[in-house]
Amino acid sequence: ATWRGTLTALASVTITIEAVIDPGTAGQTLSNQGTVNFDADGDGTNESSTTTDDPAAPVGPVAPQAETT
């Protein structure tokens, strides 16, 4: 999924990804990793990026989400 837009300070956006899980995958781990590109210096060019979560963190609903300021 791709979202292009402008956010004010402290604003957020939610991107929902729909997935179909194949039968026979019980016991498998499902994960997703995204990249956020952003303009860190305010010059109108997205020269910086970060991942949407910490790949070293445990999987599950408590995994940290990306935050850029």
**Residue 55 pLDDT > 80, yes or no?**
no
* 31-59: average pLDDT: 79
**Residue 68 pLDDT > 70, yes or no?**
no
The rounded percent of the chain whose pLDDT value lies above 90 is: 0
pLDDT of residue 59: 60
pLDDT of residue 19: 80
Mention every residue, 6+ apart, whose C-beta is less than 8 A from residue 56: none
Residue 5: pLDDT band with limits 50, 70, 90:
confident
Retrieve residue 35's tokens. 């990249």
Tokens 């590109």 found at: 37
Beta bridge partners of 48: 38
